[in-house]
Each structure stands twice: as structure tokens, then as C-alpha cells.
Amino acid sequence: LVVFRERMALEKNPDDAECYCQRAYAHILLQKYADAVADAKKSLEINPNNAVAFLRKGLGEYHIKNYASALESFREGQRLDNVDDTFTIWIKRCEETLNGKEKHIYLVRDLICPVLGSCVMFFKDSQLSSYLEQNNLFFLFQKLCFSVSCFS
């Protein structure tokens, strides 16, 4: 209902940054995060000094797992409104998520890939080798190790 109301308002006044910002909020409530990001961006095109639009953009980005962009949005919003603790909370959450992701990458690269590589070499000449090949597991091991090595 809110999305419909805001759409009608935008048809009358397509340059209303507040309507886009409100519709972004409605999209967040409906868990339509990509739509929320799009509307928040449109709001910011019209009014680049709207801290609430940065908050809503950041929330949408966070929930679609675009943590680096979310962090950027929250920091920009905090720059505009340094009183609202919500920005501080979400900045911390993004940083923790990004740091955890980085730790996971190093764990896989430094610990798991060498073990997987050893397993592949160990089973290379055994009967298990054919099973692994038939089920595409060698390829998955190699792909995992290659993708993680790209982060180093």
C-alpha cells in the first residue's frame, strides 16, 4: 500500500526525493532490498545531503550482501548526521562482517586448500580417484583453491 501511494505521488511529482526515500523504506520492510537501493539512489540524486537516504541505501546494500558499498553508504550518512547512533551500529556491523569474511578467505586459502590439494594427490592413483572425477570433486577442489588464491 505504501509503495503504491508513493508511486502515485511520484507520478505527480517525479523529483520528490522524500517520496523515493519513503518508498525505499517500504521496500526494506517488504525485504525488496535491490528496489530499496534503487529508490534510495534516486533520492540521493535529487538530494545528495539526505542522511536517511544513505541509511536506507546502506540497509538495502547490507541485506544483498554488498557490505563494502553498505559501509560506504553508512559512513557518508554518518558524515551528514553524526548524532544518529544507527550509523555507528551499522558501520560496526559492516566492518565485523567484512573482517570475518576476510578471515574466512585466509582460513580457506592457508588451511583448507593445502589439505584439499594433499587429498587430491593422495587419492590420485586410487579407486576413489575415479569416484571423485565422476562426481566432479577434483574440479571443485581446484576451483575452490584457485578462487581463494585470487584473494591473496
Residue 108 has pLDDT above 60, yes or no: no
* Separation of alpha carbons 12 and 63, rounded Å: 31
* Separation of alpha carbons 128 and 98, rounded Å: 38
Where exactly are the structural domains of the chain?
1-83, 102-152
Per-residue confidence (pLDDT) for residue 138, from 0 to 100: 53
The half-sphere exposure of 10 on its side-chain side, counting CA atoms within 13 A, is 18
Per-residue confidence (pLDDT) for residue 68, from 0 to 100: 94
* Separation of alpha carbons 14 and 8, rounded Å: 10
Residue 77 has pLDDT above 90, yes or no: yes
Architecture of domain 1-83 in this structure: Alpha Horseshoe (1.25)
Type and span of the H or E element at 12: helix 2-12
* Separation of alpha carbons 48 and 42, rounded Å: 9
Confidence of residue 150 (pLDDT cuts 50, 70, 90): very low
Start-to-end C-alpha separation, the chain: 48
